[in-house]
Structure 1
Amino acid sequence: MNNIYFTSINWDNVPKTEHVGETGTAFWQTLQFDGIRMRIVEYSKNYLADHWCSKGHIVHCLEGEFESELQSGEIFKLSKGMTYIVSDELSSHRSFSSNGVKLLIIDGNFLAKK
């Protein structure tokens, strides 16, 4: 991973891409740097991810609330101001939001399983 110089981001200028879930839709605004990806992700009402994710993330809830379900069956409820972090391949998870949510998600090489 290379150094990242000071960068100011106006998220209003970052295009949104649509990702259909098992139910609902996720909208991603994505910035890619060397070895790190930053996203603002918004889940619609009744969004359920269409897959179990084994990638590592830092997920910070900006607005609303959601549930992160682990494949083991555990469910963690997160609301505005809460964060979770997980490294690659340590806990397969998927997200659900009944009323919609806005998240800041950061992932990349620094979360690779050691």
Structure 2
Amino acid sequence: MSNILFENIDWNNIPKVQHKGETGVAIWQTMQYEGLRLRMVEYSSGYLADHWCEKGHIVYCVDGEFESELKNGSIFKLEKGMSYIVSDDLSSHCSSSKNGVKLFIIDGDFLKNKPKI
């Protein structure tokens, strides 16, 4: 990952891209750097992801609430002000939101799963 100089991000000026879920939509605003991605993501009411995600993330719930289900059946509810973190390939997860949610998500090379030697 390269160094990042000071940058002021006005999320109001970042284009919104819609991604369909199994139900509902996710709207992403993305800032991409070498080895680092920052996203403001909004799930619509009734959103259910259309896949099990293997990527690592740091997720902060800005507003609303959502659930992340793990493949082992565990369900974690996150509300405004809560976060979760996971490395790549360690916990397959699928997100949903009944009433909609706004998230700030950070992912990148620093979350790659490093196998134990």
Q: Map 1:55-66 onto structure 2 (within 5 A).
A: 55-66=55-66
Query: What amino acid is aligned across from residue 98 of structure 2 in structure 1?
Result: S
Name the residue aligned to 1:73.
73
Q: Name the CA distance, whole Å, in 1 between partners of 2:104 and 2:71.
A: 22
Name the residue aligned to 1:93.
93
Q: Name the CA distance, whole Å, in 1 between partners of 2:9 and 2:94.
A: 28
1:41-90 alpha-carbon deviations (Å, 9 max, x no partner):
00000100000000000000000000000011000000000000000000
TM-score, with structure 2 as normaliser? 0.97
Name the residue aligned to 2:102.
102
Q: Name the CA distance, whole Å, in 1 between partners of 2:35 and 2:102.
A: 23
The structure 1 segments of at least 4 consecutive aligned residues displaced by more than 4 Å after TM superposition are none
TM-score, with structure 1 as normaliser? 0.99
Unaligned runs of 5+ in 2: none
Q: Name the CA distance, whole Å, in 2 between partners of 1:68 and 1:7.
A: 31
What's the C-alpha RMSD, in Å, of the aligned pairs?
0.4
1:76-110 alpha-carbon deviations (Å, 9 max, x no partner):
00000000000000000010000000000000000
Q: Name the CA distance, whole Å, in 2 between partners of 1:3 and 1:86.
A: 23
Q: Map 1:1-114 onto structure 2 (within 5 A).
A: 1-114=1-114
Query: What amino acid is aligned across from residue 61 of structure 2 in structure 1?
Result: C
Q: Name the CA distance, whole Å, in 2 between partners of 1:48 and 1:34.
A: 29
Q: Name the CA distance, whole Å, in 1 between partners of 2:94 and 2:39.
A: 16
Total equivalences in the alignment: 114
